[in-house]
Structures are given as structure tokens and as C-alpha cells.
Amino acid sequence: MSDHPLSTVVPQALPAALSGISGTNRASVGVTRQIAANDDVAAIGLWLAEYHGSPHTFRSYRKEAERLLLWATQLRGKAVSSLTREDVLAYEAFLAAPLPTWCDEALARRGDHRRLFAGPLAERSRRQALGILAGLFNYLVRAGYLAGTPFALQPRRRGSRGTRRTIERYLDRALWQDTLAQVEQWPQTTPRERQRYERARWVLRFLYETALRATEAAKASEGDFVHRRGRWWLHVTGKGGVEGEVPVSDALMADFARYRSFHGLSALPEGDSARPLILGIAGRTAPLTATAVYLVVKDALGRVADALAPTDDARAARLRQASTHWLRHTAATHQAEAGNPVHHIQRNLRHSSIATTSIYLHAEDDARHDSTTQARDDVSSPLGERA
């Protein structure tokens, strides 16, 4: 196995009890498998192979996989596919205080028997490591290799001022799909009703797919679209003038073409046009304010809440609380649930303070785009429409 991603640290053959062949967290026999790997080293190697096109990401992810695999098999005496929540907590404590022999400066930095730690990891580095490993376990669960992930039980961390982070402010996948479906039921018999429907339909999808803030969405124009190597991106200038590019799926571009067609515009954006991406109710080209974008979303979610209230007061109340920023959190949450690499999500949101992501990992743009837009395609319109 000299060509295996973990060959420099994993013995030629782990004992059966540590290999994961009979791991206690392995998926049951009746579960449909998406991968042929039948032991932990092979399964982890397949996950790493997904990142061969991104050398920096591959090295970072391999380092964390190696650390966990050696800790589990050598110190914990368990297969990776047998780890429980208690083991994850113990491993987090180990990252904060690794054994001196794992930090021995006399060991080489690369190759066999190398030093795996320079010293105890700071809190931010521990979060980064655990976030990467959570992505590994999510991948193996989706692949039908594991029954579940002990990382899913990780409690939400408190912010630096002792307040709970606002990750709770999002719509779960089912409620989001129901919201889109309810908008499709809006009356469209008059020109005004049709205008209102088309704008709400576009604004909800646009904010969700791009995870833009209301101010960013209000300022976005056709000239911000970039078409590169067969992929669409949206250039965004966010808080503090920080610039970034957000992946845009073909499905969202189709939604945009539909919205433009309704207003008598060409399907594709004009590269040098300052025309805003969100037009006025009758197609007016004067840019909307962030407050106006906020009100469009509040009105749409409020109308959906009214429709749901007779049968589901709790979900209706949640929608009435929601706002434009909830859509940003919703986008990030759904991307994470779909298994997007944590550093891709961080770059998509252009928000370095997201605790479960890292600003130090940089995947190649193609890999980030594919993972993001594939997640969008997997969660298409509840009506199956791509118009």
C-alpha cells in the first residue's frame, strides 16, 4: 500500500480489531453502500482522494486523518469506525495536550516516524481539526460506511462575549423547501401579482444560493458576474471592503434568466452593465436599498407563514422571525449538511469568524465551485423546476 495516502503512518496491516472491518459504528447490512471500501484505512483514503486536485487541502486533511487514526488505534485501542462521542471529547483534550513523544523535536517533519505535533494546539486550531474530521465522518455516513457520526453531537459554542452564537437562526431543509413551494402557489392573475411573485421568487433563491448579506445583494449588478473556465461566479465586496467570489450554479443562472426574461431582458447578464440584480417591482433599474431587500424577504416569508399557520403554528412563527440574514445562515447550514468542506463554506460566506471553518485552508477554485453547486443541484426546487 505504498501509494496509499496514509501509507507513511499506517502499518501494512492493522489487526482485525483495529481495522474497522467490524467497527461498532459501521452501517447495518441493509444500508446501500456508495463505496466498496471495507476497512477504515481504505475508507479514509477514498475521502482523501476526493482532494487530490487541491494539494494544500489534501495535505491538511491527511494530517488530521493521520493524527486521529494513530490516536485511535495506538492510544485508544479502537478502530476509527468504533469511536463514540466520549472518544471525540477525549481526542479534543488530547489535541490540547498531546503526548511529549508525539511532539519530539528530534523527529523529522516528514516521512516515516515523523513528528505529528509541534506542540499543543490552540483553541482555533483544535476547532479547525475537529471541523475537518467532522467532514470526514459526514462523508463516510453519506457513503453508507458508517451508521452515524459522533461529531454531530457537538454543542454550539458560545461567542467571545459569552452569548450563544446565532446559528439557530436558520430554516431547516424541509421548511425551506416548503417555503419555495408555497411561493409557487401565490396568485398571478394581475400584472402586479405576477411582478410580486417573480421578484420574491428570485430574491429568495438569489439570497439563499449566494448567502449574500442584504447590503451586498442590494449593490450586486450584472457586471459582477464572472464566467471563467465554464463556471459562473459572482464578485462581491463585503464588510470592510473585503472582496471575494461566490460560486453560482447553472440552476441559479437559469433562475436569473427566467427573472430577466419576465422583464424583457436577455437571458445572460451583460458583463459591463450596472443594472442591479434585484430590480424594482415593475422592473425599474434604480438600485434597491438594503432595507428594501429586507422588506421583500420579510413580506414573502410573512405570506408563507400566513399560509402555514392554520396547520402548523410553530413553523409559521419561525418564518415570521426569519429575515435576510437567516437565509445566509440557512445557506451555510445546508452546505455543511451536504458535506461541503468547511473551508469552502468559509470562503463562500467570506466570514472569517465562523467557528467551524478555517481561513487557513485554500482549495482550488474548481473544487470549491463543484462542491457548492452540486449541493445546490441536490436541493433543487420542490416542484422539480429549473426554469
182: which strand partners? Answer: none
Is 237 a domain residue?
A: yes
* CATH classification of the domain holding 371: 1.10.443.10
How big, in percent rounded to 5, are the helix, strand and coil portions of the chain? 50, 5, 40
The Cα angle at residue 119 between residues 358 and 138, in degrees rounded to 5: 40
Is 2 a domain residue?
A: no
248: which strand partners? Answer: 232
Last residue of one domain, picked from the residues 152, 180, 203: 152
22 with 86, same domain: the answer is yes
- Domain ranges, residue 93: 16-152
137 with 284, same domain: the answer is no
Amino acid 115: pLDDT: 63
Report which of residues 382 and 300 the model is more confident about: 300
The Cα angle at residue 211 between residues 205 and 214, in degrees rounded to 5: 85
235 with 370, same domain: the answer is yes
Which residue from 179, 176, 181 is spatially nearest to 384, judged by alpha carbons? 181
Measure Cα distances from 282 to 111, 194, 202 in Å: 65, 10, 14
* pLDDT (mean) for 358-376: 53
212 with 133, same domain: the answer is no
336 with 223, same domain: the answer is yes
146: which strand partners? Answer: 26
The Cα angle at residue 367 between residues 365 and 371, in degrees rounded to 5: 120
Query: Average model confidence (pLDDT) for the chain?
Result: 82
Question: Who contacts 21 (Cβ-Cβ below 8 Å, separation ≥6)?
Answer: 38, 39
Total domains present in the chain: 2
319 with 194, same domain: the answer is yes
Last residue of one domain, picked from the residues 152, 180, 199: 152
* % of the chain beyond a pLDDT of 90: 49
Which residue from 294, 298, 297, 278 is spatially nearest to 286, judged by alpha carbons? 278
137 with 242, same domain: the answer is no
- What is the four-CA torsion angle of 289, 291, 297, 299, rounded to 10 degrees? -120
Last residue of one domain, picked from the residues 152, 180, 211: 152
213 with 91, same domain: the answer is no
Amino acid 287: pLDDT: 79
325 with 180, same domain: the answer is yes
- Under the banding of pLDDT at 50, 70 and 90, the label for residue 162 is very low
290 with 173, same domain: the answer is yes
Query: Tens digits of per-residue pLDDT, 190-212?
Result: 999 999 999 999 999 999 999 99
- 239: its cell numbers: 464588510
Is 254 a domain residue?
A: yes
142 with 175, same domain: the answer is no
Instruction: Report whether 84 contacts 137 (CB < 8 A).
Output: no
The CA distance from 303 to 285, in Å, is 26
Is 34 a domain residue?
A: yes
170: burial class by Cβ within 10 Å (0-12, 13-18, 19+)?
A: buried
Question: Who contacts 273 (Cβ-Cβ below 8 Å, separation ≥6)?
Answer: 221, 222, 223
DSSP letter (8 states) at residue 232: E
The CA distance from 331 to 203, in Å, is 14
* pLDDT (mean) for 219-236: 93
**pTM above threshold 0.85:** no
26 with 96, same domain: the answer is yes
